[in-house]
Amino acid sequence: MTSAKAWCVGAGLSLSALLACAGEEYEFLGLSSGGSIFMASCSPHDTKLLTVATDMSGAFITYDAGAKWHMVDFRQLSNSNSCAAAFHPTKPEVIYWVKETEVRVSKDKGVTWAPAGADQPWRKQGAVVRIWLDPDYPERIFVGVASKDAGQLYLSEDEGKSWRACPSIAGRVFRVAVERKSPAAQRVYFVGASDGFYRSDDGAKTFTLKMQGLPPGALTGFAAGSGEKQTILYAAVPCELKDGKLAGGMFRSMDKGESWQRCMNAKINQDTKKRSEWAAGDLPQYSWLAACDKMPERAYVFCSGTSYHPPCHATFYRTDDAGESWQELFFSDPRFKEKGMECNVETDWETENWGQREQGATRGCEINAANPDMLVMDQGRSIFYTLDAGKTWKSPHRGTTRADAEGRTHWANSGEVVTSTWNYYIDPFDKNRHYICYTDIGFARSLDAGQTWLPEMFHLPKGWSNTTYALAFDPEVKGRVWGAFSASHDIPNYNAIFGGHKATRPGGLAISNDHCATWAKLKLPVELPCMSVVVDPKSPKEKRTLYASVFGGGVLRSTDGGETWEAKSNGLDPDKRCLKLILHQDGTLFVASTGKNKNSPAGSGVFRSADKGETWTKITAGQPWDWIRDYTVKTDDSQTVLVPTSRVEPGLHRTTDGGKTWQTIYKNAKENYFFGAFYHPTNKGWIYLTIVEGAVEASMYLSKDDGATWLPFTKLPFGSIQRITFDPDDPKRMYLSTFGASIIKAPTEP
């Protein structure tokens, strides 16, 4: 792990910035990326300084082109994926970005962030989608805001101290640009928005719609470059079929928007019917334009494509002559072998293991304002940049590799981690074998105690490879492991419970006899998301007794190692939305279930069985808790149970008498979404509490006095922590599974 000191020194930061570095003691494990990347950006002062945001709330910055990524502390920045970071044109240390709906500024290269002015009138209107500073008058800051029903542009002329709305602008703002030679008072500004192109000739006091030559209706992209000799504007509009011919696409203006000319010329995709079933549609669509003042005649644009394969695939095009001609630049699949169209993109773990690359939609694209040869963009789980105008592309999300004797590549992340994890395991027979249960990318295993990882998504049971929820190790047979899988992810978090993700996709159990390298499906009575599996260590090793929990299918039991199963749900609620199982050392069996959507405490609770699942009793009966995600039973006392709850009476609750009475031992008026509670295995009286999906003050707390007082983990940089695995060989370290940042190896004390 790169220390905070080394990181700050490498970034050229001062001692005061060093002291502000958070997360020095926290190390990210597992595979790079894995979740969705948004709004990549780059500094005009340093081609190695890149930023990206993610769909799992994290914001990242790198000072060495991706060799090491730093996660910005969630209290500083979070949910920044609607807007690219904006860099000050003359001060390399100043960066503007977004925390949810608030524009923030860093004056130390992204280490610490503060609001860019207290009065930000758009805070309740919608998402910030564009921040832009006038390159000649950088005290002028434009902020584009998009809401569900409208859009708006705001301007500050005093570095964010005060703001005013720019009149007449409608729709989502793509970009703001300027005619560089125009004077301050009559500054000419250009705004490309989803509702059209606007120009101001009076320093943004008024704006006029300028659409002469453009088809009526929406734009899909805008960019501009203004040099000493000329100002060139570029716009994209939706493509459509008219009289059998393609209309729309790319346009340019050489007269500041007074007139526009179509520039769909040589080599740019003008198909009118898709060429393969994997195409995005019958017609190409153009978006994500980029240009800069250093070379106005050069522009880049993304095309969704009409085939999977070149030359009509999803790609970026570049023009060096203001749209007179175009050439395709981006060939990302390793199967592309045609001369002049060979893959020109650096591989990553997913591409290597899959043998191909998913060519998805771009979610962010920025040109380097000082270097028109550099473009940075993102697609799906990947970040790419070029330093040679698109001839070759780097993948700064890929991390590092090593090869083993059998030729497999083992991967280590570079700090840019996005994916959710549900459990972390250390093999009971081999402490160098570690395992991660992932969302979206299924599963990973390590043979060197977590230093590098083998991606195993493509070796999981067919149809269930999206998510691995849990493992159970045979206590006597080395290498024998049972796994719980599903095509539904995010159970039991918000999207799954409130209908954002379908939680009834197929799933089930599988068995491995080679330390999780290969799997064989087991036949269960239902094929629904399997959330947990436990093995009775007292059962014969030839015919193990197993219990499995199924979301929507209740509890199942096998007495022959998983060959046959029977339902054991008598006493559970009708929905049987079962989550984690615990088999206590005294033989008591526990299972949790959670409510459906909202206001359904009858479907949520913790249940106990004293007869191997034949009958169940609800120990949380009478409590109003309608959203339980996890729970813990004390190792040496099955009467003591910890239950964290969300939304209704959020907090941590404890019973010491098997559910007869309950006491709330932690609550916080600012926190509403609790996930898990865990006892330290050796430190008596130590309890950990985790918070997920929207932590405000801290995402994890520790009590050293059995719940009487609590200490926040204020240096833990990520805001959604789920479960904890304690390192059996190091009592001062633990592994945190997260909702969107892979695994974090952490100190056991704040």
Tens-digit pLDDT profile for residues 430-439: 999 999 999 9
pLDDT of residue 278: 87
Residue 461 CA to residue 508 CA, distance in Å, equals: 9
Reported as a single tens digit per residue, the pLDDT across 77-103 is 999 999 999 999 999 999 999 999 999
CA 2 to chain centre: 22
pLDDT band for position 562 (cuts 50, 70, 90): very high
**Burial classification of residue 154, based on how many CB atoms lie within 10 Å of its CB (0-12 exposed, 13-18 middle, 19 or more buried):** buried
The 8-class DSSP code of residue 671 comes to -
Q: Cα angle at 324 between 321 and 326, to 5 degrees?
A: 85
pLDDT of residue 216: 85
pLDDT of residue 170: 87
Place of tokens 């470059």: 225
The answer to whether the predicted template modeling score (pTM) of the entire model surpasses 0.85 is yes
Q: If we measure between CA atoms, which residue out of 347, 533, 339 comes closest to residue 437?
A: 533
Which CATH superfamily is 425-436+459-626 part of? YVTN repeat-like/Quinoprotein amine dehydrogenase (2.130.10.10)
Hey, what are 284's tokens? 């190409």
Q: Is the pLDDT of residue 705 over 60?
A: yes
Cα torsion 13, 19, 22, 25: sign: positive
Q: Is 20 helix (H, G, I), strand (E, B) or coil?
A: helix
Residue 38 CA to residue 151 CA, distance in Å, equals: 20
Q: What is the mean pLDDT of residues 276-294?
A: 94
pLDDT band for position 151 (cuts 50, 70, 90): confident
pLDDT > 90 fraction of the chain, expressed in percent and rounded? 88
Residue 631 CA to residue 665 CA, distance in Å, equals: 14
Place of tokens 């203001």: 322
Q: Is the pLDDT of residue 64 over 90?
A: yes
452 backbone φψ class: left, alpha, beta (φ>0; ψ -120 to 50): beta
Q: Is the pLDDT of residue 2 over 80?
A: no
Q: Is the pLDDT of residue 162 over 50?
A: yes
Residue 664, CA distances (Å) to 420, 456, 607, 636, 643 in order: 28, 41, 19, 21, 9
Residue 264 CA to residue 272 CA, distance in Å, equals: 13
Reported as a single tens digit per residue, the pLDDT across 217-274 is 889 999 999 999 999 999 999 999 999 999 999 999 999 999 999 999 888 999 999 9
Hey, what are 353's tokens? 């293991």
Residue 373 CA to residue 305 CA, distance in Å, equals: 23
pLDDT of residue 147: 80
Reported as a single tens digit per residue, the pLDDT across 604-616 is 899 999 999 999 9
Residue 322 CA to residue 302 CA, distance in Å, equals: 16
- Are 300 and 290 in contact by the 8 Å Cβ rule? The answer is yes
Q: If we measure between CA atoms, which residue out of 107, 643, 186 comes closest to residue 115?
A: 107
pLDDT of residue 149: 67
Reported as a single tens digit per residue, the pLDDT across 652-699 is 999 999 999 999 999 999 999 999 999 999 999 999 999 999 899 999
Phi, psi dihedrals of residue 396, rounded to the nearest 5°: -75, 0
Reported as a single tens digit per residue, the pLDDT across 166-181 is 999 989 999 999 999 9
Domain coordinates of the chain in residue numbers? 425-436+459-626, 629-716
Q: Is 399 helix (H, G, I), strand (E, B) or coil?
A: coil
Task: Count Cβ atoms below 10 Å from residue 534 Cβ, excluding itself.
Answer: 21
Residue 345 CA to residue 594 CA, distance in Å, equals: 44
pLDDT of residue 601: 60
Hey, what are 326's tokens? 């175009």
**Could you tell me where the DSSP H helices lie in 383-540?**
494-497
Q: DSSP secondary structure string, 173-227? A: EEEEEE-TTS-STT--EEEEETTEEEEESSSSS--EE--TTSPSS--SEEEEEE-
Q: Is the pLDDT of residue 303 over 70?
A: yes
Task: Please state whether the peptide bond connecting residue 506 to the residue before it is cis, i.e. omega within 30 degrees of 0.
Answer: no
Q: What is the mean pLDDT of residues 576-593?
A: 97
User: Residue type at 735?
Assistant: Y
Residue 729 CA to residue 433 CA, distance in Å, equals: 14
Q: Is the pLDDT of residue 15 over 90?
A: no
Q: Is 731 helix (H, G, I), strand (E, B) or coil?
A: coil
pLDDT band for position 46 (cuts 50, 70, 90): very high
Query: Mean pLDDT across the chain, nearest whole number?
Result: 93
Q: Cα angle at 605 between 599 and 606, to 5 degrees?
A: 170
Q: Is 542 helix (H, G, I), strand (E, B) or coil?
A: coil
